[in-house]
Structure 1
Amino acid sequence: MADRVYPSAKTNPNPPPPATAPGPAFPPAKSQLNGATRLPYRPQPSKASRLRSRRSPCCSCCLCLIMLLVILIILVAVAGAVFYVVYRPHRPAFSVSAIRVAALNVSTAGHLTSRFNLNVTTRNPNKKLIYLYDLISVSITSGGVDVADGSFAAFVQDAGSSTLLSTAASSSSQQLDSTAASDLRKGSSLPLEVDMETKAGVKIGGLKTKKIGIRVRCEGISAAVPKGKAAGAASAGSDCKVKLRVKIWKWTL
């Protein structure tokens, strides 16, 4: 029996390389390390944006203060409107009832000695407001020259009432210039102006307001000059102009 011949297995033309023993491990390249630990790029805020972020709390605080001030102004305006509607306040009225030159002497050296008797009527036209007056200073002038000074005592004036005030204003040894002395010596009558200044508050029930300044000026008055020892006749004056002096912070209106 003939022997069978089997073909041999095909040989691999590209045999795998023989396994080699593991060599020493090398560290990764520098570019690989940088790529592994590098954080994503975040643009830095500009200087202007940093300033805006710092200013934002300050701007918010200023805005709140402005809003608070506006609210306070609105509340004050509303309260003032309600007060005006309810009480209808009117400023006081003043008039010179009578003025008499009791004595007027100008020496040759130009020294003035004088005494005036002054009556002033003040009226409170309000029906619900009571006036609280401080001392009222009085100055009597003639042609711009101060010829006498006096005062009225402090008083309380009820609503809707009138009060008669009396005082003796005087001047003692006041030095005048030659022109003023000559003007006062001649003539049988004197043109006079009366200026008064005080502070007054308002009382409403049990509430008292802060006192404000009041300035009064009375013009167009003429008083007879006394002859010898006889006093000059009393003269009545016209109504006076009243101005309120309201002080707001550093300004007086």
Structure 2
Amino acid sequence: MAELHRIHPVDVEAPVPSPSRAPYERIGKADEELPPSAAPHPVPVPRPKKQRSRCCKCLCWTLLSFVILIVLIGATVGILFLVFHPKIPKYSVDRLGIANFTIDDNMTVAATFNLTVTMRNPNKKIGIYYRGGSHLSASYNGTELCSGTFPVFYQGHRNTTVVNLLLSGDTQLGGGLLQELQEQQQTGTIPLVFRGKVPVRVKLGSLKLPRITFKVRCDIVVNSLSANNNISLRSSRCKFRLKL
């Protein structure tokens, strides 16, 4: 008896199933086949703010310290002002004596001045130590004629002191300046400028402050610069400045 064979119908139009792939292969292929518009964008990572916050804190502390320092200085100055009531010292040129004033053929002036200055300290609780290293000068029309130094001493509270200052020196004048000086000698109105830079230490009660400099300028007008003559002061005006 012949053997029978069964024939099953086959659907030739059905798609042939593709072999399965590993998950990583699908992911890689999917990423490669995605269009550029569909590709994922990187997420920006925020920068750390620690460094900026540290700089802000440092700046704030610096400003705060500066403000506190200014407040403390202002409070100290205010307390000292209320306690001591400081007043500016006063200076005046009372007399000018000419020991020597000669002009040689080279237009060199040799001058020796004796200057009498009155110093007034109007403060009740403040004393003044006049220290070494001072410089005094007498000039005519911007040209220094002679110079000297200020004595070293202590001026107490509410004290008035009269000092005699000796200034001497040699200076060569130009022709125009010498002619101008001779003309003013004849008219009897000769302007002179006396300047002083004096290092001092101010004493507040029992406290001595650091060294500072007193700067004094006196503008005077005299009738003559001849030696051994009576020199009269036509005008005298002094200004005081403090240099820290």
TM-score after normalising by structure 2 = 0.75
Structure 1 residue runs of 4 or more that deviate by more than 6 Å after TM superposition: none
Larger radius of gyration: 1
C-alpha distance in 2 between matches for 1:91 and 1:97: 19
Residue 117 (structure 2) aligns with? 120
**CA shift for structure 1 position 170:** 1.1
Of 176, 179, 182, the residue aligned with 1:179 is 176
**CA shift for structure 1 position 223:** 4.5
Residue 210 (structure 1) aligns with? 210
Q: How does 1:183-202 map to 2 (within 5 A)?
A: 183-186=180-183, 187-188=185-186, 189=188, 190-202=190-202
Per-residue CA distance 1:118-157 (angstroms, 9 max, x = gap): 1111111110001111243211112222211111122211
C-alpha distance in 2 between matches for 1:82 and 1:74: 12
C-alpha distance in 2 between matches for 1:130 and 1:30: 98
Q: Indicate the RMSD between aligned Cα atoms, in angstroms.
A: 2.7
Q: What's the secondary structure of 2:53's corresponding residue?
A: helix
C-alpha distance in 2 between matches for 1:221 and 1:199: 27
Given that 1:106 and 1:113 are in contact with CA atoms closer than 8 Å, whether structure 2 keeps it comes out as: yes
Given that 1:134 and 1:154 are in contact with CA atoms closer than 8 Å, whether structure 2 keeps it comes out as: yes
Q: How does 1:13-24 map to 2 (within 5 A)?
A: none
Q: What's the secondary structure of 1:233's corresponding residue?
A: coil
C-alpha distance in 1 between matches for 2:198 and 2:146: 17
Q: What's the secondary structure of 1:224's corresponding residue?
A: coil
Given that 1:106 and 1:184 are in contact with CA atoms closer than 8 Å, whether structure 2 keeps it comes out as: no
Residue 6 (structure 2) aligns with? none
TM-score after normalising by structure 1 = 0.73
C-alpha distance in 1 between matches for 2:55 and 2:167: 60
C-alpha distance in 1 between matches for 2:143 and 2:217: 15
Residue 57, structure 1, aligned to residue 63, structure 2: no
- How many matched pairs? 207
Given that 1:99 and 1:119 are in contact with CA atoms closer than 8 Å, whether structure 2 keeps it comes out as: yes
Per-residue CA distance 1:70-97 (angstroms, 9 max, x = gap): 1111111111111111111112111002
Residue 145 (structure 1) aligns with? 143
**CA shift for structure 1 position 106:** 1.1
Given that 2:222 and 2:231 are in contact with CA atoms closer than 8 Å, whether structure 1 keeps it comes out as: no
Q: How does 1:1-253 map to 2 (within 5 A)?
A: 30=23, 45-46=45-46, 49-50=47-48, 52-135=49-132, 136-172=134-170, 174-186=171-183, 187-188=185-186, 189=188, 190-226=190-226, 231-236=228-233, 238-246=236-244
Unaligned runs of 5+ in 1: 1-28, 35-42, 247-253
**CA shift for structure 1 position 117:** 0.7
Distance verdict in 2 for CA 1:157–1:239, change over 3 Å: farther
Q: What's the secondary structure of 2:236's corresponding residue?
A: coil
The percent identity for this pair of structures is: 28
**CA shift for structure 1 position 177:** 0.9
Given that 1:143 and 1:192 are in contact with CA atoms closer than 8 Å, whether structure 2 keeps it comes out as: yes
**CA shift for structure 1 position 176:** 1.4
Q: What's the secondary structure of 1:232's corresponding residue?
A: coil
